Structure 1
Amino acid sequence: MNFIKIIKDINDILWGPIMLFLLVGTGVLFTYRLKAIQIRKFKQAWKITFGGLFKKGEKADEDGMSSFQALTTAIAAQVGTGNLAGVATAVAAGGPGAVFWMWVSGFFGMGTIFAEAILAQLHTERVDGEITGGPAYYIKKGLGSKFLAGFFAISIIIALGFMGNMVQSSSIAESVHVAFNIPNIITGFIVAVLVGLIIVGGMKRIASFTEKIVPIMAGFYIVGALIIVLMNAEMIIPSFRMIIHGAFNPSAATGGVIGVTIKESFRYGIARGLFSNEAGMGSTPHAHAVAKVKHPAQQGLVSFMGVVIDTGVVCTLTALVILTTGSFSSGLFGAQLTQEGFTIGFGNFGTTFIAICLFFFALSTIISWYYFGEANVKYLTGKKGISVYRGIVLIFIVVGTTINAEIIWELADTFNGLMVIPNLIALIGLSSLVIKVANDYENKF
């Protein structure tokens, strides 16, 4: 039995129905106990997040970053290749109905990510003078388990800092090669240099980068996708009809074009939705932990706007491009399916458009995932381990562009699954603390 087969078998168990049930179930738990806070406080969350968008914000320093910078750092991780390849995979494997279940995962995920942000805000530490935080800290201090905290820290460093960033650099290299015929290794070196120039400046430069690039890259993609959807305006209502019908009767939705069952529609929609918005994964709390806010719950409200932008806007538009252009019946899979939709809409420029988007989506994800890994290196070794970690990440970025991505994807999934387990244990174990803080916020504000 070969190595890839073994890893795939492990992932089938790790990311099987039990994990999906636990991830969605945690969201349901917080949605119920917080009395659907994502609905009740949506207007307030919007106002807090975007109310001062065009005011000159404060710069990040050793005391943390602004609330908006924390959100853009989180979104940089959430909005990545999963929004292009993941959504397309869900539609190809689960039919249009998978999009409905993606929305469901996003809705309940807003409850989970609210809880993660609160716990991260409550359990920060100063490491060599700089504020830091994340699940390792709330698992150790809140749950009282050094073993689970260490297990989480090691898992996320490997999952995101190393394997995940190899996947991202591989995606960049492939799309740039297709669009501009540039050799993968050259793209790898260019990406490594760009990343190195940003991460060497620490939290201050990372926050400054995400604050500027994330709104631009998201806006660029949203406008491009909207143009294609509006060019095929007559297909918008039929596409939504396919999504709703496909969630409960997949065959009727597409006239049997895609032979999937409700089970497959549910599984792929939920799984890809959670992979994209990262609710419950334990990644985005590293950014929300260091936000400078008056009350922890304030950052909780800001945090679930990241899910709205990721799943509600970007993922939905990707799905609508695929459905309104008819590319879903092309037989293609993954990012190629999304690329086909944009090629139908924009002609040859569609390939270039996706290459540009993928470059910035993946680059910003690398920066954020590096930062999340760094927080856990600090947890394990203090600042002394950062230079070694930084060097390994840059090497892996280059190496990721030269080797078969399949094994890296599988290993990234494995360590992603391992890091989720201690995070979910902490979220459920500390749920009463989350409710207490949320109630305190509602009473005071």
Structure 2
Amino acid sequence: MEGFITQASNFVWSPALVALCLLGGLWFSVRGRFLQLRLIGEMIRLLFQKKVGEVGISSFQALTMTLAGRVGTGNIAGVATAICFGGPGALFWMWVVAFLGASSAFVESTLGQVFKVNIDGEYRGGPAYYIEKGLHSKPFAVLFAVVTVLAAGFLCPGVQGNSITSAFTHAFGLNTAVTTVFVISLLCFIIFGGITRIAQFTVVVVPFMAQIYIVAALIIVGVNIDKFPAMLQLVFSSAFGVNSMFGAMLGTAVTWGVKRGLYSNEAGQGTGPHASSAAAVSHPAKQGLVQAFSVYIDTLFVCSATGFMILLTGCYNVIGPNGQTIVNNLPGVEVGPAYTQAAVETLMPGWGSPFVALALFFFAFTTIVAYYYQAETNIVYLFRGSKRGAAIFVLRVIFLVGTAYSSMKSADLAWAMGDIGIGMMAWVNFIAILLLQGIAFKCLRDYEEQKHLGLDPTFDPAKLGITNAEYWTESQRETNTILEKSSGVDNRVLSTLQEKRELEAAKKGKRTGLFIDNDGDD
């Protein structure tokens, strides 16, 4: 079984998927005029905007929920795995995936906002929704939903649970069953509390765990600052195959860098839009920009912190593409969180391993919670009426049992299963966002035009020719009703919110020529 799963993982993660992730991200970057650089200041500003209305969660809560999925085992054990099997150059390709992936994250999260729906007082959205409503393909949408339930509800959580039990065994000598029982008990409390409890939990834990971990990494970098230039040279020379020791690992450096980079930041694989769709914002592009910044936090900050600690302290092994050992600095140490634990031990002897175990617990546990939310969102999409409640209950049971089971199995099996899940989602979602990218970039242009007018951007799908955006259409209708009752501007009826914006712009001397009054005169 383990051999079959490994072969399936290699099949899913073929060079075609690596090329799709890199070239797709590059195309989105070019089409968005490298929004991940141009608008970075706007991204930071939007992090702290208040939510619009009573329903939903704030942009910051949506960010932390997304980071709960992005920042996980991949940031500790995943980086170690990438370096072990791809060489130091894999870290560079993780950076590339993050830079290009920020634009992919913008596209998918903006689409999630455009086509979100209000179900039972909670905003729901994600690839299944924008595939059905944007591509008008119910079978394609159902395919993604089924793949996501399988991946997020069964294949992927085991990686996180397995890493927690491994780290706690290494740090505290705890039996895996004891750690597993603790994790599952805490999961029961969280997942039966709904999206609000998930948001409340992640908004506290995610910023805390990331800040403490990065501070520890900065201290290690400071202690080893004299080695930093040589380390960077090693990363870049290995990334392009010009380093004599790692010259034969160019292909594996790219593959493992992209694979573990995508596993870590999840840009383009379709997980981010689930949480970002829950945000209450006035324009879809706002949450798209916030989610683009989350990729930076995950990979450029947290993954880099892990990579720097491992490389600066020399606490890693490298295994070549043919299975030969190229670097053996940690004889007999299994690849995974133990690399990072050994690195931190150089700074805090006796304390480093427990510190990393606790950090990994918070990283991985919040990712497990995020996986559950993604799986539940797609169950909500697939089932209606009384069947929905029963399906959610079954999902919860399978999710808890599957997480417990995988937590006590081998790390190789858990990672292979996780890679299959992530890869399947990436294949389906990347094809979808390539086909729907025009809608996301329409939203970006509309957002920037309104910002240029000095307005706080709001969204009118009809103005952009976007159909099936029911939430926004209904919101627009309610806004128009309020304006019709209260505006009284020269006895005009402001039929759309855009006309109201144009009137405000005209008063500021910024007339654009798009305003038409009820007499038909320009």
TM-score interval for Structure 1 and Structure 2 normalised by the shorter chain? over 0.9
Quick one: structure 1 residues 9 and 208, their matched pair in 2 at CA, closer, same or farther if it must change by over 3 Å?
A: same
Q: Does structure 1 residue 392 correspond to structure 2 residue 371?
A: no
Q: Does structure 1 residue 320 correspond to structure 2 residue 308?
A: yes
Maintained 8 Å contact 2:53/2:280: no
- What whole-Å deviation, never above 9, does each CA across 1:138-193 have from its counterpart, x for those lacking one? 11111111112111111111212222112211211121122122221121111111
Q: How many Å separate the matches in 2 of 1:260 and 1:194?
A: 45
Q: Does structure 1 residue 203 correspond to structure 2 residue 195?
A: yes
How far did 1:238 drift?
1.4
How far did 1:44 drift?
1.1
Maintained 8 Å contact 2:168/2:174: yes
Q: How many Å separate the matches in 2 of 1:404 and 1:136?
A: 32
Q: Which ranges in structure 2 are unaligned for 5 or more consecutive residues? A: 317-326, 452-522
Maintained 8 Å contact 1:60/1:208: no
Maintained 8 Å contact 1:325/1:345: no
How far did 1:337 drift?
1.9
How far did 1:123 drift?
0.8
| Counterpart residue number, 1:269 | 257
| Counterpart residue number, 2:367 | 365
Which amino acid counterpart does residue 124 of structure 1 have in structure 2?
A: K
Maintained 8 Å contact 1:251/1:259: yes
Maintained 8 Å contact 2:59/2:281: yes
How far did 1:225 drift?
1.2
Q: How many Å separate the matches in 2 of 1:60 and 1:86?
A: 39
| Counterpart residue number, 1:110 | 102
The within-5 A match list for 1:130-141 is 130-141=122-133
Instruction: Select the structure of larger CA radius of gyration.
Output: 2
- What whole-Å deviation, never above 9, does each CA across 1:92-134 have from its counterpart, x for those lacking one? 2222222111111111000100001110001112333432111
- Number of matched residues? 433
Quick one: structure 1 residues 357 and 290, their matched pair in 2 at CA, closer, same or farther if it must change by over 3 Å?
A: same
| Counterpart residue number, 1:166 | 158
Which amino acid counterpart does residue 365 of structure 1 have in structure 2?
A: T
Q: How many Å separate the matches in 2 of 1:288 and 1:281?
A: 14
Q: Does structure 1 residue 444 correspond to structure 2 residue 485?
A: no
Q: Does structure 1 residue 286 correspond to structure 2 residue 285?
A: no
How far did 1:26 drift?
1.4
Q: How many Å separate the matches in 1 of 2:51 and 2:435?
A: 35
Give the SS at the match of 2:243.
helix
The within-5 A match list for 1:85-234 is 85-234=77-226
Q: How many Å separate the matches in 2 of 1:423 and 1:206?
A: 24
How far did 1:250 drift?
4.6
Maintained 8 Å contact 2:167/2:337: no
Give the SS at the match of 2:282.
coil
Higher RCO structure, 1 or 2 (CA under 8 Å, sep 6+): 1
| Counterpart residue number, 2:431 | 425
Q: Does structure 1 residue 346 correspond to structure 2 residue 348?
A: yes
How far did 1:60 drift?
10
- What whole-Å deviation, never above 9, does each CA across 1:210-234 have from its counterpart, x for those lacking one? 1010000111111111111111111
Maintained 8 Å contact 2:57/2:280: yes
Q: Does structure 1 residue 377 correspond to structure 2 residue 379?
A: yes
Maintained 8 Å contact 1:85/1:335: yes
Which amino acid counterpart does residue 407 of structure 1 have in structure 2?
A: L
Q: Does structure 1 residue 409 correspond to structure 2 residue 415?
A: yes
Q: How many Å separate the matches in 2 of 1:191 and 1:421?
A: 31
Maintained 8 Å contact 1:151/1:419: no
Maintained 8 Å contact 1:59/1:208: no
Quick one: structure 1 residues 355 and 266, their matched pair in 2 at CA, closer, same or farther if it must change by over 3 Å?
A: same
Quick one: structure 1 residues 129 and 32, their matched pair in 2 at CA, closer, same or farther if it must change by over 3 Å?
A: same
How far did 1:422 drift?
2.0
Q: How many Å separate the matches in 1 of 2:52 and 2:450?
A: 27
Q: How many Å separate the matches in 2 of 1:380 and 1:205?
A: 23
How far did 1:334 drift?
2.7
Give the SS at the match of 2:430.
helix
**Deviation larger for 419-428 or 303-312:** 419-428
Q: Indicate which of 1, 4, 10 corresponds to 2:2.
A: 4
**TM superposition score normalised by structure 2:** 0.80
Quick one: structure 1 residues 250 and 318, their matched pair in 2 at CA, closer, same or farther if it must change by over 3 Å?
A: farther
Quick one: structure 1 residues 59 and 28, their matched pair in 2 at CA, closer, same or farther if it must change by over 3 Å?
A: closer
Give the SS at the match of 1:65.
coil
How far did 1:260 drift?
4.0
The within-5 A match list for 1:247-258 is 247-252=239-244, 256=245, 258=246
Maintained 8 Å contact 1:377/1:386: yes
How far did 1:402 drift?
2.6
**TM superposition score normalised by structure 1:** 0.93
Give the SS at the match of 1:291.
coil
**Deviation larger for 405-414 or 370-379:** 405-414
Q: How many Å separate the matches in 2 of 1:60 and 1:105?
A: 35
Q: How many Å separate the matches in 1 of 2:368 and 2:52?
A: 21
Moved over 3 A (4+): 57-61
How far did 1:400 drift?
2.4
Which amino acid counterpart does residue 315 of structure 1 have in structure 2?
A: C
Q: Indicate which of 277, 286, 290 corresponds to 1:302.
A: 290
How far did 1:404 drift?
2.9
Maintained 8 Å contact 1:94/1:268: yes
Q: How many Å separate the matches in 1 of 2:51 and 2:159?
A: 33
Query: Which one has the bigger helix percentage?
Result: 1
Quick one: structure 1 residues 59 and 32, their matched pair in 2 at CA, closer, same or farther if it must change by over 3 Å?
A: closer
Q: How many Å separate the matches in 1 of 2:237 and 2:259?
A: 19
| Counterpart residue number, 2:35 | 37
Maintained 8 Å contact 2:346/2:352: yes
Q: How many Å separate the matches in 1 of 2:161 and 2:81?
A: 19
Q: How many Å separate the matches in 1 of 2:7 and 2:408?
A: 25
Maintained 8 Å contact 1:280/1:423: yes
Maintained 8 Å contact 1:155/1:416: no
Q: How many Å separate the matches in 1 of 2:201 and 2:248?
A: 42
How far did 1:10 drift?
2.3
